[in-house]
Amino acid sequence: MNIAQYLDSTYLKTPEQSGISHEETLQKDKELAQEAIDNDIFAVMIRPDYVSEIKKFIQERNSNVVVGTVIGFHEGTYSIDEKIAEASKAIEDGADELDFVINYTAYLQGDIELVREEFVKCTKLSLEHQKVAKWIIEIAALTDEQIADLTKKISTWAEENFSENELSKIFVKSSTGFYQTAEGKPNGATFEGITIMLSNAGKLPVKAAGGVRTPEDAEKMIKMGVKRIGTSSALGLIKNESSSEGY
């Protein structure tokens, strides 16, 4: 199976998190973009600060590699206005796809109206600019019942507010890859979590992200019905190599 066209090749560590400078991070993002161009990988997924430079880098090489970025990363607790502002800037800078972290803390506290409002407003902004919106629900923070419920709610809100044609541009995504779990527990996409998402996403496509490290797991998820995979091990996956660590 050619998995390259399913992949969002990801580098999302801030300079502080990786202990390198802004310039070195930009250099890493450029290497990621070049790898994507050379290997026909669908997209690169990078921090908002680097979108304009990486978009330019890709355009200068006449490539169709898509530029994705993250909004409200990684805890999702930004206010709706903050998410709108960050997304607007990313759109202005040339991002093609926006991966929003949903306010799963508000969801867990029962503030469903806030979550619905941010979903509708931010998705509307994305679609008005012909951008893809993906909603990270952070499955490691949720019980199986909550994964099912939140996925179903997102699917229902999408159907209530957007046209049939727009639904394929609204993804439900599993994980940031940055959530802190107890030692040894997976913090990203699990087969169980993805199965629950797929059963409840209705017409929305599902993106698996976080901890996808082997080509076998990626292929299995694609066969299950996942439409996109976010991974910081993209090159290894398409070269048919497994890795225990991303980045």
Ligand X SMILES: O=C[C@H](O)COP(=O)(O)O
Per the CB < 8 A criterion, the answer to whether 101 and 71 are in contact is: yes
Q: Is 99 a catalytic residue?
A: yes
Q: Which is nearer to ligand X, 13 or 128 (CB)?
A: 13
Give the sign of the dihedral formed by CA 109, CA 181, CA 15, CA 32. Answer: negative
CA torsion sign for 103, 104, 105, 108 is positive
Question: Token pair of 29, please?
Answer: 């993002």
SS3 label, residue 228: strand
Least distance in Å: CB of 187 to ligand X?
Answer: 8
Tell me the β-bridge partners of 173. 136, 207
Give how far Cα 41 sits from Cα of 35, 81, 102, 227, Å.
8, 33, 26, 14
Residue choice 153, 210, 237, 238 for contact with ligand X (CB under 6 A)? 210
Stretch of residues binding ligand X (CB under 6 A), selected from 58-66, 108-116, 118-126, 206-214: 206-214
CB under 6 A: which stretch of 54-62, 141-149, 197-205, 208-216 binds ligand X?
A: 208-216
Residue 217 catalytic? no
Q: Which residue is nearest to ligand X (CB)?
A: 177
Give the footprint of ligand X on residues 21-80 (CB under 6 A).
45
- The count of other CB atoms within 10 Å of the CB of residue 216 is 11
Residue 109 vs 242, nearer CB to ligand X: 242
Binding site for ligand X (CB under 6 A): 10, 12, 45, 176-177, 188, 209-212, 230-233, 246
**Residues catalogued as catalytic:** 99, 173, 207
